[in-house]
Structure 1
Amino acid sequence: MNIELLNVRIFITKNEVTVDAIGNHKTSWVPYYSCYATVSAEAGKEDTDAGMIVDNTKVDFTTRWCKKAAALDSTHYRVEFNDTLYDITAIDHMNYKKKCIKLSCQKVRR
């Protein structure tokens, strides 16, 4: 893996259930991991849904393998890049060689 291609910083957050002072359970996004990655396969697409224009941007992030990155899944984690949130749709472990991990992401709708 060519290290000089890892030129953008991404932040990975984890969805956890927290309990407040009076016992209410809430889901919140807490910081999990921060690393450098390569951005590739940017595909911007706008669709019309119920009269609204919806941005369906898809981006792939490739990062170095580590134990924290290997524990990622597509249901409990998301990526923050350039103050934009992306849901992880697929994780490719690149033939399980323990060199890099590719995260296929889609922009979060708000």
Structure 2
Amino acid sequence: MNEKVVFQKCSVVKDGIGNHRNEWSEDYCCFATIGGEGLASSRETEFAGTVVEDVGMTVTVRFCEKVSGIRSVSHRILFRGEIYDIVNVDHLNFKKKCVKFTCRKVRR
């Protein structure tokens, strides 16, 4: 576990005139093992008439109470300045040792 990752949580905030918008805030920061990044999990897809690379990776972190509450619908991962959406959360047979997140890079 040699790479630092930041888990961000989405929350809805209201601005001065009552509009609701999503805001991402840092929820948890830890060290992780990154796997499957690059050629093994990347593929090409067509997006808006152009061919783009769809990059994925896995992030494995040690189990703790904070990590056990991370969900794919409300969290995302920051790694080396890039944003990754969480696609799947694997608790590895619920042995409470590690949690593995499958992620896809967000296109901006």
Instruction: Check whether TM > 0.5.
Output: yes
**1:44 alignment partner, one of 37, 42, 45:** 42
Residue 83 in structure 1 maps to residue 81 in structure 2: yes
Which consecutive residues of structure 2, in runs of 5 or more, have no partner in the other structure? none
Determine which of 13, 25, 29 is the counterpart of 1:18.
13
DSSP 3-state at the match of 1:91:
strand
TM-score w.r.t. structure 1 length? Answer: 0.89
Q: Work out the CA distance in 2 between the residues paired with 1:34 and 1:44.
A: 25
More helix by percentage:
1
CA deviations on 1:23-63 (whole Å, 9 max, x unpaired) are 32211111111110000122222222332122210100000
What 5-or-longer segments of structure 1 have no aligned partner?
Answer: 1-5
**% identical equivalent positions:** 39
Runs of 4+ deviating beyond 3 Å: none
In 2, Cα distance between equivalents of 1:54 and 1:94: 32
